Amino acid sequence: MNLHDTTAPVRVGIVGLSARGGWAAQAHLPVLRRLDGFDVRALSASSAASAREAGAKYGVPAAFGSTGELVRSEDVDLVVVSVRVPLHREVVLAALEAGKAVLSEWPLGNGAAEADELAGAAAAAGVRTFAGLQARNAPAVRHLRDLVADGYVGEVLSTSLVASGRRWGPTFEPGGAYLLDRANGGTMLTIPFGHTLDAVSMVLGEFTEVSATTATRRPVVHEEGTGRAAAMTVEDQIAVSGRTASGAVASVHFRGGLSRGTNFRWEINGTDGDLVVTGDSGHLQQASLTVRGGRGPDTGLAELPVPDRYDDVPALADLRGGPLHAMGAQYARIHADLTRGTAHVPDFAHAARHQRVLAAIERAAASGERVRLDGPDEGR
């Protein structure tokens, strides 16, 4: 199709849609099928047999046993990359080489260097790319951004956030052992911390400097159900302090697992008022959020309900407050970007910059030094 044609559906091919389940089956496929303007035409899996099984289960007409076949298909306009982080590079490069638009789940690459490579390849290919940083599409986050921009708190003086990573606690899910090895790129820093920090930056501006302390406080964890012990090399404590472009002082602390106390609390403190966001975990891209605020002398906090205008995709109305709403809102904006030429959804260049910020946090933690982020080579 012509990706500026608003009458024809965007034909989607999902890499990693498995009959055994997984995030593609739990999230991507259900929201795509809710939204007008998308047609899931193809999938690929690890083998021809598993692809046929998934195609039959989900009613997807073209089922390929390799990524190469899917990206070369003339029935695919948008390639959705929903595989483990170490496989992103191979799939994304194949899709770019085929000239296809690409949505990659976050993080884009296994490390900042790989993300830079993929962003460069996307620029050379001249195709539309999208990074799955869907937390910024959550109605509560967009409402918060506008409250700050409209001066609800006055000048922002500081912000503090404490959150739980949900995973990376004392136990891990069966099949989730790969998340315990930092070499695989799917860590608490890259996944929930990365999603949340992107939303914080959208609301308050990018960080200009960071210092950090990280630690692995549970080097041995156990599999749910079996009790099998496994080594964990991923950091389960991440404490970052720094400044945003406006000069506001920021503090962000993520802890592995879940707390019996606070699992998500984000305060924004200003000269004229305060905003407080609470939720059920540090996965801001999936969390159910409540926004409260207070301003003026001698006033406490009161809930600030999210106005209906932020719930602007009717097909997603019954998902509001659930883990799939932000994903669906992201796809609605991807459709607009592809068919109307808008630029609502972060591209690979944005994703690479954000991964350099995460690399800077790792560097700051390793060196004990404050790292500045005000140049093109931030975090390197």
Tens digits of residue pLDDT in 96-145? 999 999 999 999 999 999 999 999 999 999 999 999 999 999 999 999 99
What's the pLDDT at 296? Answer: 86
Phi-psi region of 168 (alpha: psi -120 to 50; beta: other; left: phi over 0): left
**Superfamily for domain range 136-316+353-365:** Dihydrodipicolinate Reductase; domain 2 (3.30.360.10)
**Count of beta carbons in the 10 Å neighbourhood of residue 146:** 14
264 has which bridge partners?
Answer: 163
| Cα–Cα distance, 349 to 130 (Å, whole number) | 9
What's the pLDDT at 36? Answer: 95
| Cα–Cα distance, 106 to 150 (Å, whole number) | 30
Which uninterrupted H or E stretch holds 254? strand 249-255
| Cα–Cα distance, 245 to 13 (Å, whole number) | 39
What's the pLDDT at 379? Answer: 45
What's the pLDDT at 376? Answer: 45
What residue ranges do the domains of the chain occupy?
10-133, 136-316+353-365
Distance of CA 140 to the CA centre of its chain: 16
What's the pLDDT at 309? Answer: 94
Which stretches in the chain have pLDDT values below 50?
1, 376-377, 379-380
**DSSP class of 307:** P
CATH number of 10-133: 3.40.50.720
φ, ψ dihedrals at 110, nearest 5°: -85, 80
Side chain identity at 69, as an amino acid letter? E
Question: pTM for this one?
Answer: 0.95
